[in-house]
Chains A and B, each alone.
Chain A
């Protein structure tokens, strides 16, 4: 034995193994455990799926009551045939897990504020502890626990969730290390068992995404900077261009019916800047404003519309829906058919929950858009002392309870969030977690999503709805997130209703943080269910919603929130003039890139611009805008120039006003600027308040904005980014934001305020068209693929079809038909053991 060399070699070997067996920190992130990851037997190579794979399985389980057969079509869409309804949810859980396990779990980790457990404190420049804290303090887990109680109190929902969870866990339990989705191997952790609570957490995550947007602190800051008149002009309620879902004038309300404003509001709430005080720009150093909030995307919205038979070639209704959400890989959606004794339904489901969410059955079709109502408010809390054990409410000291939320951090120590619970809800902001304005005060969050609710009941009933009455029954108990629920049936009926449980608010209630000392500013009650109006078989022959106001602002309750104007406007214009419509017309419309905002705004820009003051070089870009066909198609340059110019104008017009505070303030909507400009040259905000001796005009601002953007446009052009598709640079991003697992640089058209509502990583997440002819004529596509595994050819197989505006035919097939299908990509059989 050669002692020294053998010891040396043993040490080197051990060292090599050790280094290859841990995650190494590289450039702000961590590598996988390289040895395990590269192992062809257990590592990522095992996720490289054979391209000729056929998915076969025969599984017996004591959780099943009967037999379930699954046939996968050529796009890997499963058609599930179950002899017992709950068996279908077991199989749905199994399939969701088989094809989307990592995503399901990751999303619920996010909802539960547990990302630090798998990502560590910080990774790739994202601070996960910060995100987790936000979700914990917002009360996401609290909300999910409360909803789960309600869900499990309904024996039908409970048995559906139990079956679903059993299906997920049957799959998880069958896995060994090599079978884990590749993301587990990249991040080095293992899946844990599913629970009904995780389903509730997933649904709360959707509530966060769709009913979690508010700018209460930003508005509160703006209130101290602007007079009432200025505030109303910058952040108006309603507007001339608003075209509500229930058309103006359809329902009359007596102004006397409006929710009365509390008498104390003038002295305690509407604390605008007094008119006599002159505007002063804030020249102090920026305050240390803590960036403690993560916000859902304001553009989370959707389009849906339905035509009655009077407007279609077939004489039958057509229903269309495209929900606009973050575009991720693996996709939020999983397409499938479910056949049970009660119903045959087809559409997209949420990996993480049972039921078909958006789709159709043998009798009818259903689709959703977001209500965009503000159902999240803040109340200032006065604690007796730092212990936060007592707070002042209704003339006495009330005791708080506490939720201690423990955030586990991979490679770090646990963090505990000590959250005081009040009559309003969890105290989101306190000394340990400063609010967005850095006031140091405590604020409790009151949020509709905190209240117990059972949204799954609505979806499982809609899946089996036979007609209008069933539709009304299905949605009658639905609470949060409020949705515009569209319906069309083979009988010819079409209907839409903004459904949700909404607080009956007085004008501007909850736009600012509210005093929490007593119940004066509390939400007084919920709006009665019958006051959520249903628009049924309208004489105009169509229904639509695109996140605009549900009702005219004479509606007696305040519709606080953030609303879109232009998509609704162009949709209604198209539908109004549509005759003898076909599916092809609907496809063209759903992927339409016409920019109605630019149609209104371009003349304003061009009229105010004094072109004689531009040299030939500068004029070039004006000419591009003038010659533009107003379509945001990928190859057009007009939309890029127009957008950059308009954004610059907004800064020229409002930048000086908003600079009066260094703390966050909401930016006025582009429709507000447009409506202001349409008023005429004397728009009050055109004047630059930093030059008190000079009164600037709209024309000067348009010129200033244009001159500022010319160098930007030149630079953009030199980088070959002037064409809209390259400027927008749309893409579908992997949930870990890893470019290699994403589909980026798609060169898509579309844009904000356009039916084809593309933003860079956000847009039409599922496009569906259903013509309710005897044999349903349906089409759909989503930007992803059925397999969540990046190593599968089915991972992103729909992306190009989606990006080029094409669709797949969607069919509810009977078992005997699909059995004979040539291109099946798999067959699975599940039976009772």
Chain B
């Protein structure tokens, strides 16, 4: 339950806060959530990671589908990732997930 709540809140704040603040502000929101809703470090990381992996990954996946993969197939090669749209979507999710997960891990350690 804690895991689900933390993950959902991480996702919600991770989506909302960057609408007004720089993209990386979710590192802070994820930290705060992990501090507030305390879990063991591993679980805090997983929920931080999952929350933002889902926000960025699903959002990117949705945009990419509406776009018929036109842009992702052009940006992939520029980032040396090849022209697989799915890979770019996953990398997008991973980047956000990693930053958020590390933020959450920091929060978890800071509490205990």
Contact = CB atoms under 8 A, between A and B. Distances in A.
B59 A13 contact: no
Contact of A48 (B71, B77, B105, B106): B71
Given A1-B109, A41-B19, A44-B75, A20 B24 contact: yes
B23 A42 contact: yes
Interface string B5-49: 000000000010011001110010001000000000100000000
8 A-B pairs closest in CB distance: A791-B71, A6-B109, A48-B67, A40-B59, A9-B106, A48-B71, A13-B102, A740-B77
Interface in A165-190: 182, 186
A781 to B, nearest CB: 21
Contacts of A741: 74, 78
A129 B109 CA distance: 49
30 contacts: A1-B109, A9-B106, A13-B103, A16-B102, A17-B99, A20-B99, A31-B79, A35-B23, A36-B23, A38-B96, A39-B23, A40-B55, A41-B18, A41-B23, A42-B23, A45-B59, A45-B64, A45-B71, A48-B63, A49-B70, A52-B66, A186-B78, A738-B78, A740-B75, A740-B77, A741-B74, A790-B70, A790-B71, A791-B67, A791-B71
B71 A44 contact: yes
Interface string B100-112: 0011011001111
Interface residues of B, number: 41
B50 to A, nearest CB: 16
Contacts of B86: none
Most chain A CB neighbours (cut-off 10 Å) among B23, B31, B59, B70: B23
A644 interface: no
A792 interface: yes
B106 A182 contact: no
Chain B interface mostly: helix
A371 B103 CA distance: 64
Given A45-B59, A45-B63, A48-B70, A2 B109 contact: yes
Contacts of B23: 21, 35-36, 39, 41-43
Most chain A CB neighbours (cut-off 10 Å) among B18, B59, B68, B78: B78
Contacts of B64: 45, 48
A740 B79 CA distance: 10
Nearest to A4: B109
A790 B72 CA distance: 10
Contacts of A321: none
A310 to B, nearest CB: 49
A626 B2 CA distance: 82
A52 B99 CA distance: 34
B27 A792 contact: no
A76 to B, nearest CB: 15
B91 A38 contact: yes
B84 to A, nearest CB: 13
B58 to A, nearest CB: 9
A38 B56 contact: yes
Interface in A1-46: 1-2, 5-6, 9-10, 12-13, 16-17, 20-21, 31, 34-36, 38-46
Given A52-B66, A791-B74, 7 more contacts: A17-B27, A43-B23, A45-B71, A45-B92, A739-B77, A740-B76, A790-B74
A793 interface: yes
Given A20-B24, A39-B56, A1 B110 contact: yes
- Report the interface size class on chain A: 35 or more
A720 interface: no
A17 B74 contact: no
A48 B99 contact: no
A546 B78 CA distance: 39
Contacts of B27: 13, 16-17
A792 B77 contact: no
A52 B70 CA distance: 13
Given A45-B63, A48-B64, A12 B102 contact: yes
Nearest to B45: A9
Contacts of A39: 18, 23, 56, 96
A817 interface: no
A452 to B, nearest CB: 42
A51 B67 contact: yes
Given A2-B112, A35-B99, A50 B92 contact: no
A47 interface: yes
Nearest to A44: B75
A35 B71 contact: no
A791 B76 CA distance: 12
B80 to A, nearest CB: 8
Contact of B71 (A36, A38, A182): A182
Nearest to A1: B110
Contacts of B63: 40, 45-46, 48
B87 to A, nearest CB: 12
Given A13-B99, A45-B64, A792 B70 contact: yes
A42 B109 CA distance: 31
Nearest to B94: A38
B78 A740 contact: yes
A38 B66 CA distance: 17
A44 B56 CA distance: 12
Contacts of A6: 106, 109-110
A13 B32 CA distance: 14
B98 A51 contact: no
Given A2-B112, A13-B106, A739-B77, A21 B71 contact: no
A791 B71 CA distance: 4
Contacts of A740: 74-78
B106 A47 contact: no
Nearest to A47: B71
Most chain A CB neighbours (cut-off 10 Å) among B64, B70, B112: B70
B106 to A, nearest CB: 4
Nearest to A793: B70
Nearest to B31: A13
Contacts of A790: 70-71, 74
Contact of A45 (B41, B60, B68, B76): B60
B24 A17 contact: yes
A51 B66 contact: yes
Contacts of B77: 739-740
A83 to B, nearest CB: 36
A301 B92 CA distance: 45
Contacts of B22: 21, 36
A49 B106 CA distance: 37
A739 B56 CA distance: 27
Interface in A623-651: none
Contact of B70 (A10, A21, A738, A791): A791
Most chain B CB neighbours (cut-off 10 Å) among A12, A39, A793: A39
B65 to A, nearest CB: 10
B68 A51 contact: yes
Contact of B56 (A12, A17, A40, A51): A40
Contacts of A1: 109-112
A12 B100 CA distance: 11
Contacts of B103: 13
Contacts of A50: 66-67
Nearest to A5: B109
A36 B95 CA distance: 11
B24 A35 contact: yes
Contacts of B60: 38, 40, 45
A43 B72 CA distance: 12
Contact of B67 (A17, A36, A38, A49): A49
A40 B92 contact: yes
Given A44-B71, A51-B66, A791-B71, A38 B95 contact: yes
Nearest to A31: B79
Nearest to B15: A41
B23 to A, nearest CB: 4
Contacts of B19: 41
A789 to B, nearest CB: 8
Contacts of A43: 23
B41 to A, nearest CB: 7
A140 B100 CA distance: 49
